[in-house]
Chains A and B, each alone.
Chain A
């Protein structure tokens, strides 16, 4: 009971409850939503696994976005960076019909992640060093990024026939779950490690809340901002691998399309304010899963892809309203009134 109460007061409470409500809705209205099956070769599958797998690249983007938003910035270029990263890895491995890789896959993957970091570093340079507003600075890469991806793929959709490439978003032989789920898990663990074992969390929050005071306390604000954008680029690079492996191709126009918006939304649903400061990595992860659950639910209920954004928007509005400050205040007042009534009742009992 006590730990339950503590949880109710924690920052994760509302995001988790929102997700649970959504899952409960699914369990009631979508047939076989909760069922899990095991195939003969030991693979787990079911809708829940499907949701988790499909949300992995969004989870990764949301991690990077959380830090950026905590510094009261924003990175709207991540979708385009996903496309660039996808283009790089597919271009390097090559679209040879005989299924031979032109570059060793590990090297190609490393290169595309590095390109992601480079893109992030460019954003970081503009924001941290040249003090360009974050939206404007990342808008440059958002619009130019897809052009860069087009250049790399020479305007073609490069389809990769090299078999192992599919394993990034597929299931490795003998493994129960798809690889991208493990990649997302690794990224989450990396962030948890950074939070627990380094001071980046404290510095990022300080910069987000009061950059002047942070500077006066000796924090290198420029470096912190730069690192945050570079990390977001790194996350986008990794996401690009997953997205391209999923369709085994690099589509410069559609890879990662609108994902920056979903990533920002995931962070917001997770309870981090867009004005920066306190941030909640766990909340962002749950926010990302919530968005994917919503998408899957809509498809399962037969909502067509064109109408999906509308229904999604309605659900998001409801979730945001529940989490808003005004609603919280109302809830607190309601609780206080009840507590008062309760206390009053007890006093009467005592008489």
Chain B
């Protein structure tokens, strides 16, 4: 076939002991948005990294416009016209927007950096993408969504022919995502080939023309998105029959909350963090905190766990007034918290799975009451078995696990402390469909079988509706609605979030 912008053929990549890619083909045409899909560990990132020169391929060929290329570094890939925007924004927060866009290739005049040109060109570049902001302010003034768009602007300006977007929407809310999609479509019309990697099925279906599916480092196939039903797509990703997938989507019965209240918050808030939120968390209840990104979901969770100090309202645990003063105080009340940002606030990358699991438990015991190794090993092995964590052994480094398994280790860390209340902030973000369902089921099972209270926070409404018996809806950092029982539905939730504006 002629006209293909990018042809990757029979790509092989081996890591010590693991075959990451074997004989993978991938074709991208100009003016096409092509999704790369697969569960965690399927080889998506490896394929992208081979293409962008982060890894060297062990076999196969890469052709761009018919000419063979072999980028050995990300810089070489960029020179070939391949640009990447990663999940985490790789920009400098303390530089201005314009500086970020032109860093390393500033327009010069008489040997000096021509700041006027830098700013003007940055402004023009962003306007092309329909982003109107002050480019002379530092990057950290702007939301993650805008930073994402600035990263794209930077990538696009480097004469890119291929743009790779790796989970670009995982920290964006719906409006921001819509805005980003507009930009992507705009670039598509300009004839750019775009590789879009995302765990959000909906987004893949709205945006992409084609989808290539990988599983266990092998190619499953390339399909036209419009002709591939969702269930079939999932079935191909997980390697199961369609019938199995249907049942996987449903988490089963919900939990049955008891009368007893574990924690009650009365009009709690903190200046600059959260306005006001009330809630009652019953024993054995899975309660959801819903809202758009930045609506105060994470902030509510962090107030309950003592990360930020509360300066308004009052909290009661089992009927007794309580003022959270740091994470340890919350842990003494038997509260556990899996934070939203797994990499920055969850895992201790260079430590083993065992050490990561026992960390909170050991922190609770204190420095002097050391948990003996045999005991640590037993706890770690129990957790690995219970949560079906995929590891080569308990002493594998956590940074070498896939995202979903890292998340499970963090959950295990808190389960080991035997909490009465477990707060899960975005526990399913950026992890594969199978593990997502497992974590939802686990949240319900904990509430049902152990009588634990679970606070569940997620951007995916379906997931919230499926998992929670009660939803606290936030908007602009305050509680705007509470849905319980039969009122818990996607429609109702969307209406509550949209509020008067809808």
Contact = CB atoms under 8 A, between A and B. Distances in A.
B359 A202 contact: yes
A197 B370 contact: yes
Interface in A182-235: 196-200, 202-203, 205-206, 209-210, 212-220
Contact of A209 (B350, B365, B370, B371): B350
A209 B344 CA distance: 10
Given A203-B367, A206-B359, A218-B331, A278 B350 contact: yes
A216 B331 CA distance: 10
B351 A218 contact: no
A51 to B, nearest CB: 33
Contacts of B365: 199
Interface residues of A, number: 23
A198 B367 contact: yes
A213 B347 contact: yes
B307 interface: yes
Contacts of A206: 348, 351, 359
Given A205-B350, A206-B359, A216 B345 contact: yes
Interface residues of B, number: 30
A interface, over-half SS? helix
Interface in A23-45: none
Contacts of A215: 327
Nearest to A219: B363
B347 A218 contact: no
Given A199-B365, A205-B351, A206-B351, A217 B359 contact: yes
A204 to B, nearest CB: 10
Contacts of A271: none
A210 B347 CA distance: 8
A214 B360 CA distance: 9
A216 B327 contact: yes
B413 interface: yes
A215 B351 CA distance: 15
A277 interface: yes
Contacts of B349: 209-210
B20 to A, nearest CB: 16
Nearest to A276: B350
A277 B350 contact: yes
A209 B363 contact: no
B395 to A, nearest CB: 13
B350 A218 contact: no
Given A198-B368, A198-B370, A217 B363 contact: yes
A212 B343 CA distance: 10
A216 B339 contact: yes
B355 A202 contact: yes
A199 B345 contact: no
Interface in B319-339: 327-328, 331, 337, 339
B346 interface: yes
Contacts of B339: 213, 216
Contacts of A220: 328, 363
Closest 9 pairs between A and B when the two form their complex, measured CB to CB: A218-B363, A217-B360, A217-B359, A219-B363, A212-B345, A218-B327, A218-B331, A218-B328, A209-B348
Interface of A: 196-200, 202-203, 205-206, 209-210, 212-220, 277-278, 336
Given A216-B339, A218-B360, A218-B364, 11 more contacts: A198-B367, A199-B362, A199-B368, A205-B351, A206-B359, A210-B344, A210-B348, A212-B344, A213-B345, A213-B347, A216-B337
Interface of B: 16, 305, 307, 327-328, 331, 337, 339, 344-351, 355, 359-360, 362-371, 413
